[in-house]
Amino acid sequence: METVCGNVPEFKSGDVVTFIGDSITHNGFYHSNIFLFYATRFPDRDFRYYNCGISGDTTQDVLGRFDRDIAVYKPNVATILLGMNDVGREHYGPDKTEPEHAAARKAALDVYRESISRLADLLAASGCRMIFITPPIYDQTAKFDADNRFGTNDALMHCVEFVFRLAEKHNASVVDFYSITNQVNHAVQKKDPFATVIGADRTHPGEPGHLLMTYEFLRAQNMPEYVSSITLDAAGGCFSGLINCRIEGEASVTPDAVTFDCLETSLPFPVSELQKPALDWIPFQQELNRQVLTVKNLRTGFYTLRIDGSSVGTYTAAEFTQGINLAENPATPQYIQALAVKAVNDERLNVARSIRAVSEINYRFLVAWNPIPDEEEPLRQALQEVLDRQKGQPWHAYMTQHVEKYMAIRHSGDDLHGRMEELVVKMHRVNKPCVHRWEIVSAGV
Is the domain of 413 the same as that of 436? no
Q: List the CATH number of the domain containing 234.
A: 2.60.40
DSSP 146: S
Would residue 4 count as lying in a domain? no
Is the domain of 292 the same as that of 356? no
Would residue 3 count as lying in a domain? no
Residue 444 has pLDDT above 80, yes or no: no
Residue 183 has pLDDT above 60, yes or no: yes
Is the CA virtual torsion 325, 331, 334, 335 positive or negative?
Answer: positive
Is the domain of 20 the same as that of 137? yes
Residue 398 has pLDDT above 90, yes or no: no
DSSP 45: -
Contact 382, 366 (CB under 8 A): yes
Q: List the CATH number of the domain containing 68.
A: 3.40.50.1110
Is the domain of 209 the same as that of 305? no
Would residue 2 count as lying in a domain? no
Is the domain of 312 the same as that of 437? yes
Task: Render pLDDT for 73-130 as a digit per residue (tens, 0 to 9).
Answer: 999 999 999 999 999 999 999 999 899 999 999 999 999 999 999 999 999 999 999 9
Is the domain of 186 the same as that of 258? no
Question: Which of 153, 186, 220 is the last residue in one of the domains?
Answer: 220
Residue 4 has pLDDT above 60, yes or no: no
Lowest-pLDDT range, 10-24, 228-242, 386-400?
A: 386-400
Is the domain of 155 the same as that of 272? no
Is the domain of 202 the same as that of 252? no
Is the domain of 246 the same as that of 183? no
In this prediction, residue 368 carries a pLDDT of 75
Q: What's the domain count of the chain?
A: 3
Is the domain of 422 the same as that of 435? no
**Strands laid side by side in the 324-325 sheet:** 238-243, 226-233, 290-296, 324-325
Would residue 362 count as lying in a domain? yes
Print the domain residue range for 440. Answer: 226-331+431-444
Would residue 8 count as lying in a domain? no
Would residue 57 count as lying in a domain? yes
Would residue 91 count as lying in a domain? yes
* Tally: H helices and E strands in the chain: 13, 14
Mean of pLDDT values over 259-264: 98
What's the pTM value of the predicted model, to 2 decimals?
0.94
Question: Which of 179, 204, 220 is the last residue in one of the domains?
Answer: 220
Question: Which of 220, 255, 286 is the last residue in one of the domains?
Answer: 220
Report the candidate in 201, 213, 179, 200 with the shortest Cα–Cα distance to residue 28.
213
Mean of pLDDT values over 170-175: 97
Each residue of 241-264: b (16+ CB within 10 Å) or e? eebbbebeeebebebeebebebeb
Is the domain of 60 the same as that of 183? yes
Task: Render pLDDT for 121-146 as a digit per residue (tens, 0 to 9).
Answer: 999 999 999 999 999 999 999 999 88
Output the furthest CA–CA distance in the chain (Å, rounded).
80
Determine the Cα–Cα distance for residues 331 and 436; give it in Å rounded to an integer. 14
Task: Render pLDDT for 363-388 as a digit per residue (tens, 0 to 9).
Answer: 888 877 777 888 888 888 888 888 88
Residue type, 171: N
Would residue 129 count as lying in a domain? yes
- Under 8 Å CB-to-CB from 268, ≥6 apart: which residues? 40, 227, 289, 291, 326, 327, 332, 334, 335, 338
Report the candidate in 135, 271, 275, 107 with the shortest Cα–Cα distance to residue 203.
135
Residue 54 has pLDDT above 60, yes or no: yes
Is the domain of 350 the same as that of 321? no
